[in-house]
C-alpha cells in the first residue's frame, strides 16, 4: 500500500467517525440508530490505521482475500441496519395507524358536539318566533342558572363540559 493510499484511508475513515459523532452530538441521529454507523466507522478507521489487521483476521477466519472479509463485514452491518430500520418502520406504522384512528374518532366527536351546539343555539330563536325581543340587551331571567349548552363558544380550545 502506498503512503498516499494509507493517509487517504485514515483521513477518510476519520472524517466518517467525526461525522457520525457530530450527528449524535447535534441530536440529528438517535443513539440507537447510530450504533451500527459507529461500529462501521470505527471498523473502517481501525482497518485503515492497521491494514495488516485485516490480513491477520482474514487468515484466522480462512478467507482467501482480506478485501472480501472487509466487504462481508460491510454487508453484514448494512443488513443489520436494514433490519433495525424495518423494525422501527413497522413500529411507527402501527403508531401512525392508531393515531389516525384516534384523530378520526375525535374529529367525529367534535363535529357531533358542534352540531348539537348549533341546534341548541338555534332553538331560542325558534321558540320566540324569530322576532327580536325588545329587551334583548337585558339579562335573561335565568342568567344565573347553568345551561347545558352555550350558544356560542368564544374559545374553541376550552373544553365543553356538559353537566346534568
Task: List, for residues 7-41, the tens digit of each pLDDT value.
Answer: 998 898 889 889 988 988 898 888 877 888 888 88
pLDDT at 147 exceeding the cut of 90 = no
User: What is the structure's pLDDT at 102?
Assistant: 96
Closest CA to 149 of 113, 111, 117: 117
pTM for the model:
0.56
147: left (phi over 0), alpha (psi -120 to 50) or beta: beta
User: What is the structure's pLDDT at 143?
Assistant: 45
pLDDT at 151 exceeding the cut of 60 = no
At residue 62, what are phi and psi to the nearest 5 degrees?
Answer: 95, 25
14: left (phi over 0), alpha (psi -120 to 50) or beta: alpha
User: What is the structure's pLDDT at 146?
Assistant: 45
Amino acid at each position: 500500500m502506498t503512503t498516499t493510499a494509507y493517509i487517504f484511508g485514515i483521513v477518510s475513515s476519520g472524517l466518517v467517525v467525526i461525522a457520525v459523532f457530530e450527528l449524535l452530538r447535534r441530536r440529528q441521529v438517535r443513539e440507537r440508530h447510530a450504533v451500527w454507523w459507529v461500529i462501521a466507522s470505527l471498523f473502517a478507521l481501525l482497518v485503515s490505521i492497521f491494514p495488516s489487521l485485516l490480513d491477520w483476521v482474514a487468515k484466522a477466519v480462512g478467507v482467501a482475500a482480506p478485501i472480501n472479509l472487509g466487504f462481508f463485514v460491510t454487508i453484514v452491518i448494512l443488513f443489520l441496519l436494514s433490519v433495525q430500520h424495518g423494525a422501527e418502520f413497522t413500529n411507527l406504522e402501527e403508531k401512525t395507524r392508531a393515531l389516525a384512528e384516534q384523530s378520526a374518532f375525535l374529529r367525529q366527536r367534535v363535529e357531533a358536539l358542534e352540531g348539537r351546539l348549533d341546534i341548541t343555539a338555534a332553538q331560542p330563536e325558534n321558540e320566540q318566533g324569530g322576532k327580536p325581543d325588545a329587551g334583548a340587551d337585558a339579562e335573561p331571567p335565568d342568567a344565573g342558572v347553568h345551561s347545558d349548552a352555550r350558544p356560542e363558544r368564544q374559545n374553541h380550545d376550552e373544553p365543553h363540559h356538559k353537566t346534568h
